């Protein structure tokens, strides 16, 4: 069975505002390699919300996108990262499983700079190496039609066709398929509910595959 791995995105990070009851998505920082600068984007839902507060005095809510100086992270974000001369710096790094010599400010913000004195939280972004083409490879390996795959995993066949063709933006459906193909016990649980809708031999091939993958 193919194992799809989570990988840290070292070029982007999400920002949330956390109150007593929930987190609200504020925006994103990303590194633009072609310009060697950092960009900060406010989420429009946050920017126009009644209780929105700016991330800092230099980030008013009237503007949605901000660009840093070339080769430099925004100073207000760097201030959240503990000073390397701090005697506890090495302990901070170890507690977050980050290398002591790490210099990428986005990595540092998502680890030792995640929480600060404000209500804003910096969360790292993780991605997997799962691709729509992996679905096609899976079906071809087990000789399963799009019709049977869609019915087995309770997904619209039209949506599946668009995903495999690279024409769908339905991230929730793609993530659902990734979970089934990554966790065999979840796939088997689903097949208990939907297995009666597909051909018996197809069901047996799917069950055998996932049982052998556990």
Confirm if 41 and 63 have CB atoms less than 8 A apart: no
Question: 62, 95, 127: which is the final residue of a domain?
Answer: 127
Q: Could you tell me the residue range of the domain that residue 168 belongs to?
A: 132-213
Q: Is 36 left (phi over 0), alpha (psi -120 to 50) or beta?
A: left
**Cα 55 to Cα 43: distance, rounded to the nearest angstrom:** 12
In whole angstroms, how far apart are CA 159 and each of 35, 93, 191? 37, 43, 19
The predicted pLDDT at position 1 comes to 57
The predicted pLDDT at position 117 comes to 81
| Residue 206 and residue 153 share a domain | yes
| Residue 191 and residue 116 share a domain | no
Question: Helices in the chain by DSSP H: which ranges?
Answer: 44-47, 75-78, 89-95, 105-109, 132-142, 146-152, 157-164, 171-182, 184-194, 200-213
The predicted pLDDT at position 2 comes to 61
Residue 19 domain-assigned (yes or no): yes
**Cα 198 to Cα 143: distance, rounded to the nearest angstrom:** 13
The predicted pLDDT at position 110 comes to 96
| Residue 67 and residue 84 share a domain | yes
How many domains does one find in the chain? 2
pTM: predicted TM-score of the whole model, two decimal places: 0.76
The predicted pLDDT at position 6 comes to 82
Per-residue pLDDT of the chain (214 residues; tens, 9 = 90+): 566 778 899 999 999 999 888 999 999 999 999 999 999 999 999 999 998 999 999 999 999 999 999 999 999 999 999 999 999 999 999 999 999 999 999 999 999 999 988 899 999 999 888 999 999 999 999 999 999 999 999 999 999 999 999 888 788 999 999 999 999 999 999 999 999 999 999 999 999 999 999 8
The predicted pLDDT at position 133 comes to 93
Question: 127, 157, 178: which is the final residue of a domain?
Answer: 127
| Residue 180 and residue 105 share a domain | no
| Residue 29 and residue 112 share a domain | yes
Q: Give the residue among 77, 81, 87 at the shortest CA–CA distance from 55.
A: 77
Question: 127, 145, 163: which is the final residue of a domain?
Answer: 127
| Residue 149 and residue 121 share a domain | no
Confirm if 71 and 36 have CB atoms less than 8 A apart: yes
Task: Name the one residue in this structure whose structure tokens are 């429009």.
Answer: 44
Residue 1 domain-assigned (yes or no): no
Confirm if 110 and 3 have CB atoms less than 8 A apart: no
Burial of 86 (0-12, 13-18, 19+ CB in 10 A): exposed
Cβ burial 10-39 (10 Å sphere, 16+ → b, else e):
eebbbbbbeeeeeebebbebbbeeeeebbb
| Residue 144 and residue 102 share a domain | no
| Residue 141 and residue 75 share a domain | no
**Cα 195 to Cα 202: distance, rounded to the nearest angstrom:** 9
């Amino acid at each position: 069975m193919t194992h799809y791995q989570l990988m840290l995105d070292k070029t982007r990070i999400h920002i949330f505002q956390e109150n007593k009851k929930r987190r609200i998505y504020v925006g994103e920082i990303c590194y633009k390699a072609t310009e060697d600068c950092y960009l900060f984007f406010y989420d429009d839902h946050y920017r126009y919300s009644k209780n929105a507060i700016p991330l800092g005095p230099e980030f008013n809510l009237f503007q949605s996108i901000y660009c840093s100086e070339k080769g430099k992270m925004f100073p207000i974000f760097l201030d959240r990262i503990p000073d390397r001369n701090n005697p506890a710096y090495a302990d901070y790094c170890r507690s977050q499983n980050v290398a002591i010599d790490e210099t990428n400010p986005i990595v540092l913000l998502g680890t030792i700079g995640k929480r600060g004195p404000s209500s804003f939280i910096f969360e790292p972004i993780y991605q997997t190496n799962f691709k729509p083409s992996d679905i096609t490879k899976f079906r071809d390996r087990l000789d399963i039609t799009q019709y049977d795959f869609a019915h087995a995993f309770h997904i619209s066949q039209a949506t599946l066709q668009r995903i495999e063709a690279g024409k769908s933006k339905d991230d929730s459906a793609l993530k659902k398929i990734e979970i089934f193909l990554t966790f065999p016990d979840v796939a088997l649980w689903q097949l208990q509910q939907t297995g009666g809708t597909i051909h018996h031999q197809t069901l047996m091939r799917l069950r055998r595959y996932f049982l052998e993958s556990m």
